[in-house]
Homo-oligomer: A and B are copies of this chain.
Amino acid sequence: MAPPEETRTAVIDLGSNTFRLVVFAAAGRRWWKRVDEIYEPVRISAGMGPSGELQPAPMERALGAIDVFAHFCRAAGVDEVRAVATSAIREATNRDAFLARARARSGLDIDVLSRTAEAFYGYVAAVNSTTLADGVVLDIGGGSMQLTHVVGRASREVESWRMGAVRMTERFLPDERASKKQLRALTDHVARKLAEAPWLAEIGDAGRLVGLGGSVRTLAVAAEKAADMPSFGVQGFALERGALDELIAELAALPAPERRRVPGIKPERSDLILAAAVVIQGVMEAGGFDALEVTEAGLREGIFLATQLAPADPPLVPDVRGASVRNLAAQYDADERHAQHVAGLALSMFDSLAAAGLHPGDPEERDLLWAAGLLHDIGTTVDYDDHHRHSRYLILNAGLPGFTPREVALIGQIARYHRKGTPAMGDLKPLMVKGDQELLDRCSALLRVAEQLERARDQTVHAARVEVENGRVRLALVADEEVPVARWAAERQSDVFERAFGRTLEIAEVKA
């Protein structure tokens, strides 16, 4: 089968703060990824005030940027363009005149998203980049803040408030220093507004909160740094309530221009981040959430995915964790049949050893082993030498939506130890929880034996039957022919196996 043609979709997002163009490439449903991005800090809502009218200077900046974006799409060979505007333009009294000028100048049709549509795309991004099934999606931009109530992965209630970071800053925290009184007024305003969504208070303990948008990501980076955690992005990071409260206290104590001194707070967010943090705190308070789970996907990914998954309605990837592992694997040249066969052999040994009582057989651990199996060789794209280290680098840096940073770290380390060395977490240790060293030992050992059984990459070892007798594990290799390479290679892994399972490993061959 010929590989599917690569197509490019541009999503243009005219936000209250920044105008942004993102290009997504996809090969059918095999893989997709972001491949280009340009942006301009237009601040179109600057100086709008109570009149609700876009001002001449910001409008000129906006039209210039839109023109550049339109040229970019034509020049860069994009197959499809989706341009949307959100709250600042949506609510401007002179929006129609502005849109007409934008169309005349650039030829672009701009779709002004309703509050509901905007929230919907945020919801699509969140449920396709996390394992959220029941709870709330929070999306905070410059102009507005949306909450979507999610039940069984479906969107139930949707609410949108004009409580974006720019709006709340201008209204409640306009001065360099935020007084206690001002902060209290903002907190009260948020609480009062949120009371309009009574379902929020009724979410209960089982419900999770997933957040998206630049402010959420910035706060997550700051919390990671405050906790001195190794960071390779904030996808899946859990921003805990206590950590958010501490950040707010730290930010509020500083004048706005100096908030950038808090590690992780970028200069361009320095003046808006405090208001955003207080709004998020209000949502956590109102819904009784202990943590906000962060996703790096947002409105733009939501729009792209809705297009990509159409006509599915709602546009849901059936298995987020599986899809993101397969998506990453498919982006590399690695030998897919080999990787799948290795993953299959590793999982079958995992299951047999669990059935024999040699380990707990935790399903989450099984997921990680499978993911590492599929991804163990992607590093060969960088260089054959040290490709286990390169696989780890690629896994950590590309990220795996649906997994927490700890889980991604474990997948990376399992892949890193698929050839040699004594499994350890190294500089990712701060992410570990109790039992992770044993998990890493088990998964590395199984992946390593499976890799060696598939050393010639020809799938001749169909299966490896596990027989546990007293102090040893006998692995019977099932194949149609003799498999001296597999046997030779797998025998070298007895030490790592013994370390993980406390049994010696013996390899035998049996005819299929």
A interface with B by C-beta (< 8 Å): 33-38, 64, 67-68, 71-72, 75-77, 233, 331-332, 380-386, 390, 393-394, 397-399, 455-458, 460, 482-485, 488-489
CA distance A29 to B147 in the complex (A): 56
Contact between B383 and A397, CB atoms less than 8 A apart: yes
The reply to whether B35 and A384 contact each other, CB–CB distance below 8 Å, is: yes
- Judge whether B484 and A68 touch: CB under 8 Å: yes
| Residue of B37, B385, B455 touching A384 (CB-CB under 8 A) | B37
Give the residues in chain B near A482, CB-CB below 8 Å. Answer: 71
Q: Given contacts A382-B398, A383-B399, A484-B68, are A455 and B38 in contact (CB under 8 A)?
A: yes
Q: How far is the CB of A101 from chain B (nearest CB, A)?
A: 16
Contact A456 B71 (CB under 8 A): yes
Of chain B, the residue at the smallest CB distance from A22 is B384
Q: Are B397 and A34 in contact (CB under 8 A)?
A: no
User: Among A33, A76, A386, A460, which residue has the most Cβ atoms of chain B within 10 A?
Assistant: A76
The contact of A488 among B68, B398, B483, by CB within 8 Å, is: B68
* Cβ A34 vs Cβ B384 within 8 A: yes
A34–B382 alpha-carbon span in the complex (Å): 11
Flag if A71 contacts B382 (CB, 8 Å).
no
Q: A75-B456, A75-B458, A485-B72 are in contact. Are A36 and B398 (CB under 8 A)?
A: no
Residues of B within 8 A of A384 (CB): 33-37
Complex alpha-carbon distance, A35 and B483, angstroms: 21
Checking B75, B385, B458, B483 against A460 with a beta-carbon cut-off of 8 angstroms, the contacting residue is B75
Looking across the interface, which residue of chain B has its beta carbon closest to that of A23?
B384
Instruction: Give the interface centre of A72, A386, A390 by most chain B CB atoms within 10 Å.
Output: A72
Nearest neighbor of A379 in chain B, beta-carbon distance: B397
Q: Provide the bound-state CA to CA distance between A489 and B399, in Å.
A: 29
Interchain CA distance A181-B390 in the complex, whole Å: 46
How many Å lie between the Cα of A482 and that of B77 in the bound state?
A: 17
Indicate if the CB atoms of B35 and A485 lie closer than 8 Å: no
Is the CB–CB distance between B394 and A458 below 8 Å?
A: no
Shortest Cβ gap from A392 to chain B (Å): 12
Interface centre among A77, A383, A394 (most CB of B within 10 A): A383
In Å, the complex CA distance between A326 and B233 comes to: 32
Give which listed residue, B394, B397, B458, contacts A386 with CB less than 8 A: B397
Q: Contacts A67-B484, A484-B71; is A76 near B398 (CB within 8 Å)?
A: no
A390 and B393 alpha carbons, distance in the complex (Å): 9
Contacting A68 at CB < 8 Å: which of B67, B71, B460, B485?
Answer: B485
Q: B71–A485 contact, CB under 8 A?
A: yes
Interchain CA distance A172-B482 in the complex, whole Å: 44
Contact at B35–A380, with CB atoms within 8 Å? yes
Hey, which chain B residues are within 8 Å of A484, CB to CB? 67-68, 71
Contact present for A381 and B383 (CB under 8 Å): no
Q: Does A76 lie within 8 Å of B458, measured CB to CB?
A: yes
For A77, what are the chain B residues with a Cβ–Cβ distance below 8 Å? 457-458
Residue in A380, A384, A390 whose Cβ sees the most chain B Cβ within 10 Å: A384
Residue of B36, B76, B385 near A34 (CB, 8 A) is: B385
Docked pose: A456 CA to B382 CA in angstroms:
27
Partner pick for A382 among B386, B397, B485, CB 8 A cutoff: B397
In the complex, the chain B residue whose C-beta lies closest to that of A331 is: B381
Report the separation of the CA atoms of residues A37 and B489 in the bound assembly, to the nearest whole angstrom: 12
**In the complex, which residue of chain B has the Cβ closest to the Cβ of A394?**
B382
User: Are B380 and A381 in contact, CB atoms less than 8 angstroms apart?
Assistant: no
29 chain-A/chain-B pairs, Cβ below 8 angstroms: A33-B383, A33-B384, A34-B383, A34-B384, A36-B457, A37-B384, A38-B455, A38-B489, A64-B488, A67-B484, A68-B484, A68-B488, A71-B482, A71-B484, A71-B485, A72-B455, A75-B458, A75-B460, A76-B457, A76-B458, A331-B381, A332-B381, A381-B381, A382-B394, A382-B397, A382-B398, A383-B399, A390-B397, A393-B393
Residue of B nearest to A6 (CB): B333
CA–CA, A169 and B13, complex, Å = 70
Residues of B within 8 A of A455 (CB): 38, 72
Q: Most chain-B Cβ atoms within 10 A of its Cβ — which of A385, A483, A489?
A: A385
**In the complex, what residues of B have CB within 8 A of residue A71's CB?**
456, 482-485
Contact across chains for A76 and B456 when beta carbons are under 8 A apart: yes
* Candidate in A35, A71, A332, A460 with the most chain B CB atoms within 10 angstroms: A71
Bound form: Cα–Cα A258–B17 in Å: 63
Which residue of B has the minimal Cβ distance to A380? B35
Residues of B within 8 A of A458 (CB): 75-77
Complex formed: what's the CA distance from A456 to B68 in Å? Answer: 10
Q: Which chain B positions have C-beta within 8 A of A37? A: 384
Which B residues are CB-close (under 8 A) to A33?
383-384
Q: How many angstroms from the CA of A82 to the CA of B71 in the assembled complex? A: 54
In the complex, what distance in Å separates the CA atom of A83 from the CA atom of B35?
A: 44
